[in-house]
Amino acid sequence: MDKVTDVLNIEQQIEELSRYEGKALALDIYIGSQAVATSGSTISEALISKLRRTDPERVRFSKGGGQLCLPDKDIEQAIRANIIPFRAELALEAGVQEDLSQEVRGMATRKVRQLFESSRFLSKVDLNAAADVASDLIRRAQSLESTAFKLHDLRSYDDYTYFHSVNVCVLGIALFRNYTDSEQQLLDLGISLLLHDIGKSRVPLEILNKPGPLSEQEFDQMRKHVRYGVELLDGSLDVPKLCLEVVLNHHERVNGTGYLRQLRENELSLFDMLASICDVFDAVTTDRCYRSKMDFHRAVSILIRGSGTHFNNKLVNHFLQGIGRFPVGTFVLLSNREIGVVSRVNSEALSLPEISVIFDGWGNRLEQPRRLDLHADASGIYIDRPLDTSPLIGISAKNETDLKH
């Protein structure tokens, strides 16, 4: 840029700034090498007249991502009120794909409910029906990097176990897909994840759906679901070994603090450990009758904290590579005060995903969402913070062991 254009730009910026008197500055302003106003300070009349009196060649604005002032706090709150309730619709309009459509998820959940209910009466599991559901999900579930996991999250508490079984299956398939070339192994894993909690069909419903923490005695009953699951599967023909193991071991932890047998990492299979990660992640990000769901970031931090102690380190890393620090579908406030939704994870730069920008820095909806790849973009814009954190009510789980599942 030549000097004349530069001076004109500075003069224009000063005039632009005068429109925002009283608001908070979004960048730093220097005269020579001295900062005369910093980001967050109020844009005052005195500042503007001082800048107007100064030789424009000596005035310099730091990069503020294109914005001169920060939005008012109440604007931000209004945006949140306009985003959170409509996040699924906004995200889909912005081109963010869901991992499964509502219909497919609903259909799979109904079939899993039938599986659970018939196992209650017949004392065995219809493995063919489970294989049908699993292979359908394998066909439809995509990779984690490009699809939003559970964008819609409307579920009734009584259905929790069935929804959870479908979610854990989809998550595990998406995660494991590039670990194997064997279709049979992928199918066996899909069946195992779909049925990992099948033993809960023998746990009394009052305990399963209890709206509050379990007593020690009730928790003991709950723990038995892994044993019940194996008993139910043993009565069925041709059960894959992998399936029996996942059902029995999905609550084991790599340091031997899980249940039922306190196995350690060297006694657990890759599938057992993969199931435990998907199981915890889904449980944490789901509304339950005794607590509201935690957001993805807390779920991710539970996995990171438990990596190497509760969960296999390599698998946690692989999981995070896929889902990113900001999973697809997360609404974020950018450093230039624009708001958008994560549309794709960059596996080489987990904090710099691709964004579909929906609102400008003043909270106005853009006519067309704008694609912004934070990793490829040279403007230095970054994610200030995620916006879709749900408030915690009731019991909040500080770590994985606080969770009842």
Residues that bind Fe ion (CB under 5 A): 197, 279
For residues 194 and 352, which CB has a smaller minimum distance to Fe ion in the complex? 194
Residue 290 CB, nearest distance to Fe ion (Å)?
A: 15
For residues 311 and 331, which CB has a smaller minimum distance to Fe ion in the complex? 311
For residues 23 and 404, which CB has a smaller minimum distance to Fe ion in the complex? 404
Residue 272 CB, nearest distance to Fe ion (Å)?
A: 12
Residue 359 CB, nearest distance to Fe ion (Å)?
A: 37
Residue 126 CB, nearest distance to Fe ion (Å)?
A: 20
Residue 196 CB, nearest distance to Fe ion (Å)?
A: 6
For residues 17 and 171, which CB has a smaller minimum distance to Fe ion in the complex? 171
Q: Nearest to residue 186, comparing CAs of 226, 145, 136?
A: 136
Residue 327 CB, nearest distance to Fe ion (Å)?
A: 20
For residues 25 and 242, which CB has a smaller minimum distance to Fe ion in the complex? 242
In 10 A of CB 162, how many CB atoms? 23
Gyration radius from the chain CA atoms: 26
| Cα gap 208→219, rounded to integer Å | 10
Pairing of strands 59-61, 97-98: unpaired
For residues 279 and 295, which CB has a smaller minimum distance to Fe ion in the complex? 279
| Cα gap 151→286, rounded to integer Å | 11
Residue 226 CB, nearest distance to Fe ion (Å)?
A: 6
For residues 279 and 354, which CB has a smaller minimum distance to Fe ion in the complex? 279
Plot region of 371 (φ>0 → left; ψ -120 to 50 → alpha; else → beta): beta
Residue 279 CB, nearest distance to Fe ion (Å)?
A: 4
For residues 99 and 272, which CB has a smaller minimum distance to Fe ion in the complex? 272
